[in-house]
Amino acid sequence: MFDKHDKEAPQATAAIFRVQGNTAITQVPITTTNHPAQNHQSTTPLVKAEISTNNISRKSIAKDDIMIETLTSEQAASHEVVPCTHQLRTNLEEGLTTAEATRRRQYHGYNEFDVGEEEPIYKKYLEQFQNPLILLLLASAFVSIIMKQYDDAISITVAVVIVVTVGFVQGRNVVDMFTIGVSLAVAAIPEGLPIVVAVTLAIGVMRMAKRRAVVKKMPAVETLGCVTVICSDKTGTLTKNEMTAQSIATPEGKLAEITGIGYSPDGGVVQYQGELVQQWSHPEFARIIEAGIVCNNATIEADKLIGQPTEGAIVVLAKKAQLEGVRTQYKRLREMPFSSETKWMGVQCADTQGQTVYFIK
């Protein structure tokens, strides 16, 4: 301790920090000048300066009895300036001394970062293919090749290459690029677009209905909006929807002409080489007419057709050949209706003698 009459402050020549409990004790060897009232010289008296270290969390590392104090920025900011500067062995005005900087550099080493070798570009590009989504797409392309769907395989491969390349150039992850692509696709299609399209097509259907045109499928209205010329056949569309048989051809090459128009048999006849074909005068033509009238579901009453126009034309033909009564000679047992797949109609009948007869049209 110093006498209160000492006029000169001690000058520290060295410092050693030791920690005891929660108190940092600084022991400073000093050299003092001779006091007139005292004839002795204190060569190495120790002055103890206590610095409270409560609530200061620091990491102290000892080397050669030298304590290396470390504080985080948050810890240093929460305490007073002077204790922090003492702990960190620095000066607010001059900073670290050359000796302190040298000591720290010898202990910690130079403030350098370890920089490894730069990874080749091709490796960075190939790393993009390690994403599970990209691997799944490549597997789909491989399956398409096995199934000989080369167009799909090429499309998938090109899409993967584009996504990976863009992601590599922009430095983004493949998943991020895929998410961005989906987001752009969603943003490009307005949420209310389907409703607007449906309403627009419905308005087009209503306009067509006012012109007596029935539209069964709304997308057809969109197609009609781009049409400049409409071509249509006239059979049953622009006329009376009536059909007339004009000739009969046999497997032997015989051809009979039929006169008359419409569903009225008046004035109409069947002729073969100038001869009238009536009832069974010409069996080759009569059998054809018989099959057509028996295998038939149409009827004509007061020149009005009940049934299909094609079958109605055959009924009128039978009347012109005076064979309309043939249908009453058979009892229908079974019917195989006409279909677009088979393109024929058949009936199973029993004649007056009970024998089974089949007719196909």
Question: Quick one: three-class SS letters along 9-38?
Answer: CCEECCCEEEEECCEEEEEEEEECCCCCCC
Let me know: does 291 contact 360? Beta carbons within 8 Å: yes
For tokens 């059998």, what's the residue? 287
Domain assignment of residue 161, given as a range: 121-188
CATH label of the domain that carries residue 320: 3.40.1110.10
Identify whether residues 35 and 86 lie together within a single domain. Answer: yes
Q: Quick check: is 237 in a domain?
A: no
Q: Give residue 73's pLDDT.
A: 79
Distance in angstroms (rounded) separating the CA atoms of residues 320 and 269: 5
**DSSP-assigned letter for residue 254:** -
Q: What is the pLDDT of residues 111-168, one digit of tens each?
A: 777 766 777 777 878 887 888 878 888 888 888 888 888 888 888 888 888 888 877 7
Q: Quick check: is 72 in a domain?
A: yes
Catalytic, 176? Answer no
Other residues' Cβ atoms within 10 Å of the Cβ of residue 17: 19
Distance in angstroms (rounded) separating the CA atoms of residues 162 and 248: 67
At 332, phi and psi to the nearest 5? -75, 130
Q: 64, 114, 233, 266: which is the annotated catalytic residue?
A: 233
Task: Write out residues in the chain with pLDDT < 70, as ranges.
Answer: 1-69, 115-116, 172-175, 177-178, 181-182, 184-192, 233-239
Query: Which amino acid is located at 62 in the chain?
Result: A
Identify whether residues 214 and 159 lie together within a single domain. Answer: no
Kind and range of the H or E element at 271? strand 270-272
Q: Give residue 359's pLDDT.
A: 93
Provide CB contacts within 8 A for 55, sequence distance 6+: 78, 79
Q: Give residue 24's pLDDT.
A: 39
Identify whether residues 336 and 252 lie together within a single domain. Answer: yes
pLDDT > 70: percent of the chain: 73
